[in-house]
Structure 1
Amino acid sequence: MPSLPPIYSLRAFEAAARLNSFKKAADELNLTSAAIAHQVKNLEQGLGVEMFQRHSRGVELNEAGQKYLEIAQSLLGDFKRKTQIFKAQYEAQPMRIGALHVVSERLVLPLVQKFLNHFPDVKAELIADLIEPDFRTGNLDIMIWHGETPPDEFVTMRVLSERLTPVCSPELLREYPDGMTLDDLLSVPALYDLYWDEDWNYWLSEVDGPELKNSLGFSLYSALIQTAIDGGGVAIGHTGLLDKEISSGRLVKPFEQEIVAPKSYFVLTSEENLNKPNVRVFWDWIRAEKEKVSKQ
């Protein structure tokens, strides 16, 4: 037997070890139980180690088998992921971009639409409700991540910093002819997003505002903004996500004070993903767009 086991033996062993059954492994791999048993036996002979306890009721993974299962799963997982990346270099696969739902809707979608106007041959898929990046599975190429410091293991680029400021409907603000004061916030519902539940505290601590008691949180940013538009309270807003509402006048700023948000938006990917042509084109395009903005 060669010094390295063949891939089919590793697959047979991994399935049998994970399922603790030659029969179940055979069903999963569309083989016979005898074929699974033969491949596992060849693997054991090549390694010089038995990895299953065989008895009348079936098979059971032993201690050596447990250790080798970790090796096999790591190798097979890495092989699958790198094969997907290799294939992507030679065939047009959709570029998969993940983000939080609100970030995907309000930031990523316009960004990708603008990109596709320049590169109409590229296919893209948006994946919402992702909090943390995971490029190991091969199901994600890029993530627009919101936070203070991105993880060190990824290739990162800051794409947007923003400010926090309260916003409300013009109709609500007209109820305060002399202007809304910080103390008025005690009698008006303070609206916030549950994922960004510290935003009001950040802003109030910078402007020496009162401790809020009348508040309402939302798991959907769109519901939060619509409630503010409908006059249901004052929302703590992210300027990077509210351009349309503020420029159209549907939302106004009752206070002049804005603060720099502690978190920014970053594009994250892996070194391997940058080998994919579409990912590289998108990455370089974002970098060029940033340079244009910085020169304005």
Structure 2
Amino acid sequence: MPFQRRFLPPIPVLMAFEAAARLQSFTAAAAELCITQGAVSRQIRLLEEQLGAPVFVRERQTVRLTKTGASYAREIGDALRRISNATLNFRANPDGGTLNLAILPTFGTRWLAPRLPDFVAAHPGITINLTTRLAPFDFNMDTVDAAIHHGVEAWSGAELDFLMHETVVPACSREFLAANAIARPADLLRVLLLHLATRPEEWRRWFEHHGLRPGDVPGMFMDQFAVAAQAAISGLGVALLPRFLIEGELERGDLVLACDAPMESKESYWLAWPSTRADYPPLQAFRAWLKAQAKD
């Protein structure tokens, strides 16, 4: 629905408020905006008159946000960043469009990035900006148009396209395998296991998939696949990794299978986007291309 102009303060007022709120100082805000301290103070008072309540508490030579002022400042800051990003994206590509995409770090670097030249060649007018994310977030509070999601088919306020399933395998270095004589899943219960912090139950599910009931599965936790894979290559322990993300290491012999015991993950890969962006042409083009790549 269209916004109501009577609730929209002038941009200079909002810029003065955002700077003063972020810097907690009218003087510092004035210096940043290249105006006088008195001008900042007047802009803040105009805002408070429109809101009908104070946003700052004035104490001698200092100011601090009220509780409601702090909440308002977060939303105004997000709104101004959205306007700034939209302008930057338009200037960067006025004849095409820009897609701001959140990606999972290892999926992005190992699977998506090598394929992106194909998309760019097919859609030269579209610019893709990438940012890494490890967990779902609120599309209403962020500036991305879409995100690569690993999990189940659930994301509040978002639509999803299925991309692919994933098979995980226990992998380690040749030296580690030779030193520990692993031959079957039960043998892994006596070696150091490398866990992913984003998938704390994956090893337990893997053992149960292969007929074992280990209870708690101790080991070392790491926050990203790349770190876990490198630790396994270095001989630290055994990591449970998506096979399609470590094909290169397996082909080179940097990693080997600790035992031939794969498991299809409970979660899958999805492309997620807010419903409000469904008709955005760059997203539509990327969706069609990405689903074709995942199918291949």
Q: TM-score w.r.t. structure 2 length?
A: 0.71
Residue in structure 1 matching 2:132, options 128, 135, 158 = 128
Q: How does 1:126-275 map to 2 (within 5 A)?
A: 126-128=130-132, 130-133=134-137, 135=139, 140-168=144-172, 180-209=183-212, 211=214, 215-219=219-223, 221-226=225-230, 228-229=232-233, 233-246=237-250, 251-253=255-257, 255-273=259-277
Query: In the alignment, is the contact (CA less than 8 A) between 2:102 and 2:132 conserved in 1?
Result: yes
Matched, 1:282 2:283: no
Aligned equivalents of 2:143, 2:72: Cα separation in 1: 22
Aligned length: 287
Aligned equivalents of 1:76, 1:195: Cα separation in 2: 30
Query: Which residue identity is paired with 2:212?
Result: G
Query: What's the % identity of the aligned pairs?
Result: 26
Matched, 1:78 2:79: yes
Query: Which residue identity is paired with 1:12?
Result: A
CA RMSD of aligned residues (A): 4.2
Larger radius of gyration: 1
Q: TM-score w.r.t. structure 1 length?
A: 0.71
Greater mean alpha carbon deviation, residues 23-32 or residues 251-260: 251-260
CA drift of 1:157 comes to 1.9
SS at the partner of 1:196? coil
Aligned equivalents of 1:70, 1:174: Cα separation in 2: 58
Aligned equivalents of 1:155, 1:206: Cα separation in 2: 31
Greater mean alpha carbon deviation, residues 95-104 or residues 165-174: 165-174
Structure 2: gaps (5+ residues): none
Residues 185-233 of structure 1 show CA distances to partners (whole Å, capped at 9, x for unaligned) of 2444434434433221111011123638785554453353345456665
